[in-house]
C-alpha cells in the first residue's frame, strides 16, 4: 500500500492546513521520534496526519516549522485520534512546551476491551488488516536523517491510515459490551502531560536506594549526560545505565577505584567520563557532608 501525501515544511502552509483542520470533526495523528538511539536526547522527527481524505507529513525538523505553528495545530478543538498518545505528547511538551487538547486515545478503548497489544495487533484483531512491516526495525531507523526514504514515510503513514476505522470498530464493541462509558471516563485525562521526572530518577528504582546512593546517582548521571550532550551521542554510548547505577551503589570510591571501574567504558569517552565521574563523586560527597 503506497500512500500519496503532502509534505509540509513551512509554518505558512501548516497554518493554512490548521484553518482547514478546524472545519473537521477529527483528524488522525501520530509521531515518529528519535529517543536516544542515534543522537542525544528525545526529538520529534515528523507528524503524520490523516483527515479521512488526504495524508500529510509535517517535518518538525524543518527550519521553517516553529513551535508557534505546532502550538496552534494542537490547540484546535478538532478531535485528534491517536493510538497511545502519552509518549508522543510527553516529548511534544518536553521539547516544544506544547500541549494538545481534545485527544481521543484508542489505546484506552482497546485496553477497556481487554486488548493490551500494540497498534498492528489491534488493527489485525478488529479490522482484519495485517501489516507485514517489522515495527521494531522501523522504530530503530534513524528518523533524524534527511531525506527520509519512501519506505519509511509510507510506514509512518500507515500508523494513521486505519485510526478512523479502528475508532468506529472499538466504539461499537465497547458499546455492545457496556464498557464505553468507563473508557470515555478514563479518556478525560489522557492528554494531561506533567513535568517529567529528571532522568536520574528513571534510570532505576530509586526508592530502593539510600539517600546517599541517590545523591551519588544524580551527580554521576548528570556527569554522563553532559558528555553525551556535548558529543550529541546517545547516553549509553558514554556509559551504560547499569554502570551508572553500579557506580552509585559502590560509592564512596577512591579515584583509583573509579578509574579501574571505568576501564570498561568506551575508549572514545573513557578519559572524559573518568574525569567527570571523579568530580561528580567529589561533588556528591560535599553534598552528603552538608546533610550531617
- Give the CATH number of the domain where residue 154 resides: 3.30.420.10
Which pLDDT belongs to residue 276?
98
14 and 149 co-located in one domain: yes
245 and 127 co-located in one domain: no
- How many domains does the chain fold into? 2
Q: What is the CATH number for 206? A: 1.10.150.80
Range of the domain at 269: 199-289
28-42 pLDDT per residue, tens: 999 999 999 999 999
184-204 pLDDT per residue, tens: 998 888 988 887 889 999 999
61 and 169 co-located in one domain: yes
Which pLDDT belongs to residue 140?
85
Q: Which of 75, 42, 45 is nearest to 202 (CA)?
A: 42
Residue 192 lies in a domain: no
Cell 532522568 maps to which residue? 199
62 and 182 co-located in one domain: yes
Burial class (CB in 10 A: 0-12, 13-18, 19+), 245: buried
Which pLDDT belongs to residue 195?
78
Percent of the chain predicted with pLDDT > 70: 98
Q: Is-contact 29 47, C-beta < 8 A?
A: yes
Residue 202 CB neighbours (<10 A):
12
The DSSP annotation for 204-245 comes to: S-GGGS-HHHHHHHHHHHHHHHHHHHHHT--HHHHS-HHHHH
1-25 pLDDT per residue, tens: 789 999 999 999 999 999 999 999 9
36 and 96 co-located in one domain: yes
Average pLDDT over residues 170-192: 91
32 and 113 co-located in one domain: yes
Residue 191 lies in a domain: no
198-256 pLDDT per residue, tens: 999 999 999 999 999 999 999 999 999 999 999 999 999 999 999 999 999 999 999 99
Which pLDDT belongs to residue 134?
63
90-126 pLDDT per residue, tens: 999 999 999 999 999 999 999 999 988 899 999 999 9
State pTM to two decimals.
0.91
Which pLDDT belongs to residue 131?
77
Amino acid at each position: 500500500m503506497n500512500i500519496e501525501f503532502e509534505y509540509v515544511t513551512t509554518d505558512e502552509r501548516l497554518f493554512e492546513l490548521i484553518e482547514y483542520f478546524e472545519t473537521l470533526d477529527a483528524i488522525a495523528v501520530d509521531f515518529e521520534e528519535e529517543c536516544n538511539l542515534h543522537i542525544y536526547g528525545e526529538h520529534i522527527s515528523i507528524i503524520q496526519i490523516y483527515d479521512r481524505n488526504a495524508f500529510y507529513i509535517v517535518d518538525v525538523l524543518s527550519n521553517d516549522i516553529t513551535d508557534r505553528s505546532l502550538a496552534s495545530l494542537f490547540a484546535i478543538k478538532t478531535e485528534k485520534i491517536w493510538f497511545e498518545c502519552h509518549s508522543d505528547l510527553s516529548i511534544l511538551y518536553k521539547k516544544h512546551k506544547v500541549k494538545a487538547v481534545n485527544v481521543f486515545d484508542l489505546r484506552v478503548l482497546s485496553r477497556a476491551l481487554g486488548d493490551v497489544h500494540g497498534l498492528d495487533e489491534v488493527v489485525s484483531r478488529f479490522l482484519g488488516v495485517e501489516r507485514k512491516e517489522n515495527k521494531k526495525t522501523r522504530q530503530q531507523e534513524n528518523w533524524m536523517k534527511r531525506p527520509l526514504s519512501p519506505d519509511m514515510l509510507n510506514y509512518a503513514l500507515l500508523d494513521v491510515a486505519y485510526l478512523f476505522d479502528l475508532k468506529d470498530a472499538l466504539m461499537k464493541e465497547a458499546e455492545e459490551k457496556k464498557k464505553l462509558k468507563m473508557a470515555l471516563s478514563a479518556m478525560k485525562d489522557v492528554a494531561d502531560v506533567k513535568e517529567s521526572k529528571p532522568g536520574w530518577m528513571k534510570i532505576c528504582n530509586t526508592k530502593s536506594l539510600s539517600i546517599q546512593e541517590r545523591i551519588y546517582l544524580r551527580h554521576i548521571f548528570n556527569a554522563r549526560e553532559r558528555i553525551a550532550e556535548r558529543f550529541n551521542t546517545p547516553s549509553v554510548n558514554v556509559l551504560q545505565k547499569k554502570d551508572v547505577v553500579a557506580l552509585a551503589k559502590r560509592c564512596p570510591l577512591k579515584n583509583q577505584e573509579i578509574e579501574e571501574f571505568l576501564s570498561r567504558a568506551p575508549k572514545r569517552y573513557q578519559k572524559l567520563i573518568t574525569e567527570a565521574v571523579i568530580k561528580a563523586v567529589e561533588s556528591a560527597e560535599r553534598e552528603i557532608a552538608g546533610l550531617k
